[in-house]
Chains A and B, each alone.
Chain A
């Protein structure tokens, strides 16, 4: 068992085109670091310059939004799945 991280298409160019990565359990922050070691530059894409969760990226640990858990300190255990979801939004011009 391990932790699976589901990578959306927009990040796959930073993960050698892999859609699912297997990592060791730990906090979300530690897992992002693990991926960044294997795929340098990944962390910069997913987090803000200050190293926080980016508002355009939703991080789900199983079916829970990490923002409502412990954010980057959320612990992810063996067998859990992390899903990274880019925010989807838009709007008409105001006339």
Chain B
């Protein structure tokens, strides 16, 4: 995941985390369809292919990750506004030499709401090689 984030600089990187029994089993490196250092978006066709793979393997969509190239690992107003999926959002900040990885739940009354409640959740890293 960190490798993908570093590799996509100067643009933001994004991807999906597939989990099984609460552990990440696969990191999907996705294309940032926005190709921007300050914005990311998934390509819907790639997203569909990843979701199908997740279903086929019996995994769950455990999280969506993206990088902040220069800012802190905390959801920006844009991140909150565009948080439509109901899964943890992992943010990797590359502001410092050593990446900062934090995760959050963004809860909305209705998925289309622009505002939501941001609550940090713990990240447990067992291995740093993916």
Interface on A for B, CB 8 Å cutoff?
6, 8-11, 45, 54, 56, 58, 60, 63, 65, 83, 85-95
Q: Given A85-B51, A90-B79, A91-B79: A56 and B87 within 8 A (CB)?
A: no
Q: Which residue of B lies closest to A95 (CB)?
A: B71
> How many residues of chain B get a CB closer than 8 Å to chain A's CBs?
37
Most buried by A among B41, B48, B77, B110: B48
Instruction: Name B's interface SS.
Output: loop
Which residues of B are found within 8 Å of A58, using beta-carbon distances? 44, 47-48
User: In the assembled complex, how far is the CB of residue B78 from the closest CB belonging to chain A, in whole angstroms?
Assistant: 4
Residue pair B83, A90 in contact (C-beta under 8 Å): yes
Q: Are A91 and B85 in contact (CB under 8 A)?
A: no
Residues of B within 8 A of A (CB): 12, 14, 34, 36-42, 44-45, 47-48, 51, 61, 64, 66, 68-71, 75-79, 82-87, 89, 110-112
Query: Is B45 within 8 A of A90, CB to CB?
Result: no
**Set of chain B residues within 8 Å of A83, measured between Cβ atoms:** 48, 51
Contact B44 A90 (CB under 8 A): no
Instruction: Give the Cβ gap from A71 to chain B, nearest Cβ, in Å.
Output: 14
Chain A residue nearest to B75 in the complex (CB) = A90
A95 touches B111 (CB 8 A): no
B79:A60 contact, CB within 8 angstroms: no
